[in-house]
Amino acid sequence: MKKHIVIIGAGFGGLKLARSLTNHPQFDITLLDRHNFHQFQPLLYQVATASLDASNISFPLRSIFKKSKNITIRISELISVDSSLQILETSTGKVAYDFLVIATGADTNYFGNAEIKQYAFPMKSTLEALQLRNQIIQNFEEASLMTDKSQIQKYLTMVVVGAGPTGVELSGALAEMKHEKLPFEYPGLAIADMKIYLLEGSKKVLGNMSEASSINSRKYLESMGVTVMTETIVKNYDGERVLLQDGSIIPSALVIWAAGIQGNLPDGIDIKDIAPGKRIRVDSFNKVLGFDNIYALGDVAYMETALNPKGLPQVANVAIDQATNLAQNFKNQILGKSIKPYVYNNKGSMATVGRNKAVVDLAKPKISFQGFAAWLVWMGLHLFLLIGFKNRIVVFINWIYKYFTRNQSLSLFFPPLLRNKKS
């Protein structure tokens, strides 16, 4: 008899698992997500800064699996899980399962600050990236109508909190907008007075990368006009002023929160063994501790190893590799073969800052390099990871167009905004 696997979440892990089991004769798959598309999160910042359209990095699930006879797409919200009866309660009805795989990814972590959550902009989804783009454009439109210099400066000041890859890449993209595009679109504004702050609580930017990559990325940002402030903690933000822990204040009408992530735990699952950061503890086979047929993958899974006692990195390649291993284990179980534990393979990390500026750390061989060569490697890898030949071509053409014209052509404004904002 066929086994029914329900996958919650169509991120990197959930999508890879479903694709690895496509048309397998022994499995029926239900892929459940609140959206009908997979989003390529590493390029969300380019949607937010009008370099790419949302459709370039968002892929309809039904199109991806149009040739899959054993995969059902279900667009709904999870309400609860009855693990004893092996039934999910969703917003579109009940779903029974033999195996349940939680691949819900991560969400923004505001560290309990409700006011920051209300007024700062996250960027973990396509919708949030579009909302951020809308807000950036609206701020310039409003500033162009103002006469009070202090108010104008507040609307020309952008604060990015968190100097991980997302914060670094977003700050660099904003700096490129300042130098290449905005002076021509808003000639009545003193765009030269635009300020971009990158705030980081630790001692360096790109804290998980090598010292050389950290130093060079900071140099790149500062050469582009970004004010980088490390060992700086944001205490609060009320929509108009950023209050730092040392008591200083940065007036700003826009704060982008990239300071931390936490596991996106689904509601209604009776899992008591939750690790720090709202992540589900799993064993080396990605099985949730205390359950025989529930698994977790990617950012929401907390797997400790000898080399990673605080859990594996929350990056895409971990989710993809875990899904590949779990898919093979499901196949082996059906055939009565032994299953294999997941072994983390560190492939390295990278981040881009802007035109001809990127940093790359390779794990094997252990080398770091920066500049134009690193920028080409970054572009090539991200193009390769995109789904669909058409999307790769469109993104590549957009990048080439921007590189030679220094222009971004997607600054469309769609009111009303979906965020609360103080006037």
Higher-confidence residue: 297 or 412? 297
SS3 of residue 201 by DSSP: coil
Rounded-to-integer distance, Cα 238 and Cα 120, Å: 9
Q: What is the pLDDT of residue 390?
A: 84
Q: What is the pLDDT of residues 49-99, one digit of tens each?
A: 988 888 899 999 999 999 999 999 999 999 989 888 999 999 999 999 999
Beta bridge partner(s), residue 274? 280
pLDDT at 1 exceeding the cut of 90: no
Going from N- to C-terminal start, the domains of the chain cover: 3-34+76-107+262-335, 114-259+355-405
pLDDT tens profile 124-154? 999 999 999 999 999 999 999 999 999 999 9
Write down the pLDDT at residue 260: 86
Distances (CA, A) of 275 to 63, 78, 161, 294, 322: 36, 21, 24, 17, 18
Instruction: Report the first-to-last Cα separation within the chain, whole angstroms.
Output: 61
Q: Is 76 helix (H, G, I), strand (E, B) or coil?
A: coil
| Preceding peptide of 365 cis, ω within 30° | yes
At residue 414, the pLDDT reads 64
Predicted confidence (pLDDT) at residue 195 exceeds the cutoff of 60? yes
**CB atoms closer than 10 angstroms to residue 126:** 21
pLDDT tens sequence across 152-164: 999 999 999 999 9
CA torsion through residues 181, 186, 191, 196, sign: negative
pTM value is 0.90
User: Could you tell me how many residues make up the chain?
Assistant: 423
pLDDT at 409: 60
b/e for 135-161, b at 16 or more Cβ within 10 A? bbbbbbeebeeeeeeeebbbbbbbbbb
Q: What is the mean pLDDT of residues 304-324?
A: 92
What pLDDT is recorded for position 420?
A: 53
Q: What pLDDT is stored for residue 227 in this prediction?
A: 97
| Range among 201-205, 270-274, 410-414 with highest mean pLDDT value | 201-205
Where in 166-302 does DSSP place strands (E)?
195-199, 226-229, 234-237, 241-244, 249-251, 254-257, 261-263, 274-275, 279-281, 294-296, 301-302
At 410 the pLDDT is: 57
> At 100, which helix (H) or strand (E)?
strand 99-102
Tell me the average pLDDT across 270-297: 91
Cα(243)–Cα(230) distance, rounded to whole angstroms?
15
Question: For 248, left (φ over 0), alpha (ψ -120 to 50), or beta?
Answer: beta
pLDDT tens-digit series, residues 22-55? 999 999 999 999 999 999 999 999 999 988 888 8
Q: From the CB of residue 405, how many other CB atoms can be counted at a distance below 10 Å?
A: 10
pLDDT computed for residue 387 by the predictor: 86
Place of tokens 């492939």: 347
- Three-state DSSP state, 242: strand
Give the tokens for residue 74. Answer: 């279900």
Higher pLDDT, 423 or 108: 108
Q: Is a pLDDT exceeding 60 seen at residue 18?
A: yes
Residue range 174-187, pLDDT digits in tens: 999 999 889 988 99
375-378, long-range: CB < 8 A, 24+ apart: 377/350, 378/350, 378/351, 378/352
CATH of 3-34+76-107+262-335, picked from 3.40.50.10420, 3.20.20.80, 3.50.50.60, 2.130.10.10, is 3.50.50.60
207 to 202, 229, 375: CA distances (angstroms): 8, 14, 19
The string of pLDDT tens digits covering residues 392-423 is: 999 999 899 888 888 766 566 666 544 555 54
Dihedral Cα 295, 297, 300, 301, nearest 10 deg:
70
241-244 and 234-237: which strand pairing? Answer: antiparallel
Instruction: Provide the pLDDT for residue 417.
Output: 46
**142: CB partners within 8 A, 6+ apart:** 155
Task: Please give the CATH topology (third level) of the domain spanning 114-259+355-405.
Answer: FAD/NAD(P)-binding domain (3.50.50)
Distance CA 206, CA 397 (A): 29
Q: 406-410 — which CB contacts under 8 Å span 24+ positions?
A: 406/180, 406/181, 407/180, 407/181, 408/49, 408/50, 408/51, 408/177, 408/180, 408/181, 409/50, 410/50, 410/51, 410/52, 410/53
Average pLDDT, the chain: 92
Q: 99 near 8, Cβ under 8 Å?
A: no
**Alpha carbon distance 176, 171 (integer Å):** 9
The predicted pLDDT at position 223 comes to 96
User: Model confidence at 115, in pLDDT bands (50, 70, 90)?
Assistant: very high
Kind plus residue range of the DSSP H or E element containing 253: none
